[in-house]
Structure 1
Amino acid sequence: MSTSLPLSRRDIIEARLAEGRQVVATSLAAEFDVSEDAVRRDLRALAAEGKCRRVYGGALPLFTPSQPISARIGKASARKRILAQAAVTMIERGEFVFLDSSSTNLEMVELLPKSLDVTVATNSVEIASAIMKRGDIPLVVIGGAVNPVVGGCVDASAVAAIAALNIDRCFLGVCAISARTGISVYEHADAIFKRMLLERSASRIGLITSEKFHERAPHRIGGAANIDWLIVEDDLPDDDERAAIGAGFSLVKPRDVTSSS
């Protein structure tokens, strides 16, 4: 049998959860050469301390650690592009559009028709660079100190700049969404920035890949009353769809937008 003390084993499990890793009771029991009951006691203790969420067969971290935008760009790009295509069809000619820092919103840049005659504002380094490379869309860049996780500017100067704008349509970057807790992000400054962005925008839209319905993030932006539309994937699970609609969110799927355009 293992000579590891329960506290030592528990510390290792806690460290893995803090790194955002899921733990499985059977795997931990085999690794530490202890019974599954012993592991389950550890998990119950960690859950009681607010350090994990118990699930069948193991435990999940309370929050998934945020990744810098450089790590998110290119992931699930085909799925994000489908959402971006639906988003572009919702823009009206001549609008002042804000593209919040988001790897999904980045997919919109190539899809924007020049004929829409829009002006784009953004706090995102990547989005600003992509629009500059196009060279045919007027661009307003919201500056300040660049947050490497967000991939753009969300400090006090960026918030002040947003407060002076009248935005026709914003596309919000979202880290997590829940029927119970609403829309959330990982960074405190980002949440403050997004609240101001929503306040200054006439139409507010989020592009949501399905896994975000099962993410958790600590900083709440708002609820269903603070956003007009969520563009979700066509294969969003029925349970997630019902919960979101029950919470008051208005959902639109790419097939609905393209069929009506």
Structure 2
Amino acid sequence: MLTSQRKKAILDALERDGQVLAGALSVEFGVSEDTVRRDLRELAAEGRLQRVHGGALPASPAVAPLAQRQDMDVAAKQRVARKAAAMIEPGQVVIVDGGTTSALLVQCLAPDLQATVVTHSPSVAVALAAHPSIDVVLIGGKLYKHSLVAVGAAAVEAMSHIHADLYFMGVTGVHAKAGLSTGDFEEAYVKRALAQRAAETVVLACASKLNTASPYRIGELDLAQTLIVDAGADARLVKPIEKAGLTVVKA
């Protein structure tokens, strides 16, 4: 089997099964595990998959720079954002993550909504500055420019004093076995800390993030209680997530 044929078979298996194991592939292809690992390395370098111990998972497409991500899946993100905004009740304290879907979420808030939004995203805070009845608490720290959010020890320390009703979490990967993931180590730590400060964590994701993984794991799926995904998501991708215990709401 040619290298190109093996790589296509690997990608087909990832789409079908959600993961591949190097040992099983070496038996299937009749080549050494070193050969399979080389194929996986090359595919990972192309951004086609995410390598993990013993094999690989589908790679998330949502790791591009912010300016590029703003133009990805816009209609789906708007539907997710509207559904998320409708969950907020008057008087609640709500944590809003950074990211493109969160930016749309704050645009959907009713002008008469009275609530408190806690965020480590300067963009989210500025977007809410003109809202007449929402108090904004901005968490500071080192600016992670890829997502325009504050990270680091100062941010985590500030979060420890918060008790929120809801946390709207942005992720780049949602996988039934690999859990919730993102593209930056410090950002993963901050998201995990924020989830611990809220009564309910709601993950916001368009369909392209389902059954994918990024380099840094935020936590297992049970770190959250609810996933909001656009209605166009394939049922085959949603079912394993529901089976793992997460409530899936389609927007």
Structure 1: give runs of 5+ residues left out of the alignment: 1-9, 14-22, 26-39, 255-261
d(CA) in 2 for partners of 1:200, 1:125 = 20
**TM-score normalized by the length of structure 1:** 0.74
1:127 paired with 2:115, answer: no
Distance 2:198 2:227 in 1: 15
Provide the residue aligned with 1:48 in structure 2. 37
CA distance in 2, matches of 1:168, 1:198: 11
Contact 2:84 2:228 in 1 (8 A): yes
Farther off after superposition, 104-113 or 134-143: 134-143
1:47 corresponds to which letter in structure 2? V
| Aligned-pair CA distance for 1:219 | 1.4
Q: Residues 221-240 of structure 1, C-alpha deviation per residue, up to 9 Å, x if partnerless?
A: 12232111001111211211
**Which residue does the alignment assign to 1:193?**
190
Distance 2:36 2:153 in 1: 36
CA distance in 1, matches of 2:66, 2:129: 19
Cα distance in 2 for residues equivalent to 1:79 and 1:251: 15
1:104 paired residue number: 101
Letter in 2 for 1:97: V
* Structure 2 CA distance for aligned equivalents of residues 133 and 114 of structure 1: 10
**Which of 83, 99, 118 matches 2:80?**
83
> Is the 8 Å Cα contact of residues 210 and 238 (structure 2) preserved in structure 1?
no
Instruction: Return the index of the structure with the highest Cα Rg.
Output: 1
Q: Does 1:183 align with 2:180?
A: yes
TM superposition shift of 1:132: 1.6
Aligned residue identity for 2:200: S
- 1:168 corresponds in structure 2 to 165
Task: Kindly indicate whether residue 91 of structure 2 is the aligned counterpart of residue 94 of structure 1.
Answer: yes
**Aligned counterpart, 1:138:** 135
Q: Does 1:225 align with 2:215?
A: no
2:36 matched to 1:61? no
TM-score of the aligned structures, taking structure 2 as reference length? 0.77
Q: Which residue in the other structure is 1:116 paired with? A: 113
In the alignment, which residue of structure 1 is the partner of 2:26?
none
User: Match for 1:149 among 146, 150, 173?
Assistant: 146
> Does the CA contact (< 8 Å) of 1:184 and 1:191 recur in 2?
yes
Counterpart AA for 2:158:
A
SS at structure 1 position matched to 2:174: strand
The separation in 2 between residues aligned to 1:153 and 1:59, in whole angstroms, is 26
Amino acid at match of 1:233: D
Kindly provide the amino acid, as one letter, of the partner of residue 112 in structure 1. Answer: L
Percent of residue pairs bearing the same amino acid type: 28
Unmatched tracts of structure 2, length 5 or more: 10-28, 51-58
**What is the distance in 1 between the residues matched to 2:35 and 2:104?**
40
| Contact 1:177/1:214 (8 A) holds in 2 | yes
Bigger proportion of residues as helix: 1
Q: Normalized per residue, which structure has more strand?
A: 2
Give the equivalent residue in structure 2 for 1:242: 239
Distance 1:149 1:166 in 2: 27
Verify the 8 A CA contact 2:168 2:201 in the aligned structure 1. yes
1:196-245: CA deviation from partner (whole Å, max 9, x where unpaired) = 10001011101110010143212111223211100111121121111111
- Kindly tell me: are residues 71 and 136 of structure 1, through their superposed partners in 2, closer, same or farther at Cα, counting changes over 3 Å? farther
Q: For the structure 1 residues 206 and 43, does the alpha-carbon distance in structure 2 shift closer, same or farther, using more than 3 Å as the test?
A: farther
- Correspondence for 1:210: 207
Paired residue type of 1:173: G
Counterpart contact for 1:159–1:196, Cα < 8 Å: yes
Aligned-residue CA RMSD in angstroms? 2.8
Amino acid at match of 1:51: R
1:64 CA displacement: 5.2
